[in-house]
Amino acid sequence: MPVQFRYATCHEYPAISQFLNDYWANGHIYCRNRALFEWTFHRPGHWPEEQYSFALAEDGGDLVGILGGIPFRFNHFGKSSSGVWIANYVIRPDHRRGPTALQLLGMFRQPHFYACVASGINPATSAIYRVMRGEVLPYIPRSVVVLPGGSERMVNLLAIAQPEWPAERARSLAAGFGLDAIPDETIVHGATVPESWDTSDWPAIAAATVGAARDRDYLTWRYLAHPVFEYRIITVPDGSRTGLAVWRLETIRRQTPAGREDVDRIGRLVEFLPASRDNARALATVFLQQLCGAGAFGADFYGYHGETRAWLEESGFRPAAAHPDGDAVPSRFQPLDGKGGGILSAMFLGERLPACDGSAACPWYWTKSDSDQDRPN
């Protein structure tokens, strides 16, 4: 009997969790936290209520492969269609030869999914996406800022993450991202997604960008309804428009024989959607002030969108790639991992679109929060 393929029903979490634990990673967060799994793969209104957006491959009733899919609305300069992020692509070792992997991927490479995107792929397996005529993208550009007075804290972090480095090398890297001062002006701002977002703000953003639709439905699900992280929203008015940023505070912890030990705090900026250049400066100022108030030494942002990165740079962020050691700035913080945090992705599209890259003109709005890249470890 050939291998059978289907979508999981909502009572099959135990079997999926066990398979993830056995063949993906022992103690994976989706195995430890069912609420996070449910939030990711059971999104009402975007998938049948009785199913997880999770594809299964079975041989004689035994589970031999899994592939998660996170449905989203894909935006192409204002045109909306269905898209899916794929995650947790695992085939049991005895089925890795043959067509099982390709057939499982086919469950999400359906005509009604205009975009099928694999975010955070392993570089060692990127060749398979090229064989399947997918486009493997450059790493997502990363921007970093270290607050005034935070350089020594950054040096301390690097001493833990890169213990073989001489102190001067760590100081050079920290200095490359240092901010001279935070503006002390008072800027009127809010902390909730505007009710008018879908009529006054998102349409203008959509018309100029490509990527996952950042409408109220998405923002509410992705940030306000997240079962683990506490995301903070910043809004700054700009005439009839509103600029919006979303960030979270992360405690950096290192692994010790006695368990995890707190090291420092950093901000993760995951959305930056200003209404204008001046609005970008105001939005970034509020963010930096909040970051300082929260006791963080700095922050980072991952994003392809050229204009967004340029406006953040005008407010003090610096491209990680601009420094010779920029790739060594840690990105995995619980526990602290000195290997860096490059995000490599691949995608299959219904038609050829503008390039998704690190150029100044890149129209793709794609950040670390897309897919499941910003999740607990």
- Output the CA angle 175-181-183, nearest 5 degrees: 150
Q: What percent of the chain has pLDDT over 90?
A: 91
pLDDT score at 360? 97
- Output the CA angle 169-324-337, nearest 5 degrees: 70
Whose CA is closest to 359, among 324, 321, 307, 315? 307
Mapping DSSP to helix (H, G, I), strand (E, B) and coil, where does residue 71 land?
A: strand
Confidence of residue 338 (pLDDT cuts 50, 70, 90): confident
**Residues 269, 144: Cα–Cα separation, whole Å:** 10
pLDDT single digits (tens) 104-117: 999 999 888 999 99
Mapping DSSP to helix (H, G, I), strand (E, B) and coil, where does residue 373 land?
A: coil
Q: What's the average model confidence in pLDDT over 327-339?
A: 92
pLDDT score at 125? 81
Half-sphere exposure of 58 (CA within 13 A, CB side): 12
pLDDT score at 110? 87
Residue 127 has pLDDT above 90, yes or no: no
pLDDT score at 179? 97
- Domains, in order of start, for the chain: 4-113 (3.40.630.30), 142-342 (3.40.630.30)
* Token reading at 236: 């700054």
Alpha helices per DSSP H over 220-372: 277-293, 306-314
Model pTM greater than 0.75?
A: yes
pLDDT score at 131? 83
Residue 341 has pLDDT above 80, yes or no: no
Q: What's the average model confidence in pLDDT over 311-320?
A: 98
pLDDT single digits (tens) 144-197: 999 999 999 999 999 999 999 999 999 999 999 999 999 999 999 999 999 999
pLDDT single digits (tens) 203-248: 999 999 999 999 999 999 999 999 999 999 999 999 999 999 999 9
Give the DSSP H or E segment for 204: helix 202-208
Q: What's the average model confidence in pLDDT over 4-12?
A: 97
Bridge partners (DSSP) listed for residue 116: 84, 348
pLDDT single digits (tens) 32-42: 999 999 999 99
* Strands annotated E in the chain: 4-9, 51-59, 62-76, 79-91, 115-119, 135-136, 142-146, 210-212, 232-238, 241-256, 259-273, 298-302, 318-319, 332-333, 336-337, 345-349
H helices, E strands: number in the chain: 11, 16
pLDDT score at 212? 98
**Residues 318, 158: Cα–Cα separation, whole Å:** 17
Please write down the HEC assignment for all residues of 260-286.
EEEEEEEEEEEEEECCCHHHHHHHHHH
Residue 124 has pLDDT above 90, yes or no: no
Confidence of residue 339 (pLDDT cuts 50, 70, 90): confident
Q: What is the DSSP letter of 227?
A: S
